[in-house]
Structure 1
Amino acid sequence: MDGMQIALPVLGIVAAAAVTFYAVSFAEIGEKTFRDLDESEESENGGGFKSSLSSRERRARRKADKQFKP
């Protein structure tokens, strides 16, 4: 048996494991980021969820926030 016949499949397995590890890690980071974003939006809105605000309500809320903050 030649050394390359053993080394090539082993290197392929190691490369596949590295790609899988990074793919799963980045997926978990992205999931955590979206989860944190959702939690921060809930805390800003008082914990409740309103399905959709009209553009008039959004403008009024932004205007009130701007006037409230110095």
Structure 2
Amino acid sequence: MSSEPTRLLWQKSSFSGGNGGQCVEVAQAPDGGRYLRDTKDRSRPAHYFTEAEWDAFLKGVKAGEFD
């Protein structure tokens, strides 16, 4: 597991609208992986996913595996 860098550019989905406290945010890690965190408690550690894990997740979303 990669330790979370102190400076990351966090982004949330445009589908979140004005509901900023009920979302997840994602940030790209320097090694190409991704960090994922819950906006309800940003003080908790983010979950880390390798680049391969994140790519597999995105492919699954696009294929409708989580519908």
TM over 0.5: no
Larger RCO, structures 1/2 (Cα 8 Å, 6+ apart):
2
- In our comparison, the structure showing a higher alpha carbon Rg is 1
TM-score category of the 2 structures, normalised to the smaller one:
0.3 to 0.5
When you count strand as a share of all residues, which structure comes out higher?
Answer: 2
Q: Tell me which protein shows more helix as a share of its residues.
A: 1
Using structure 1 for the length normalisation, give the TM-score: 0.32
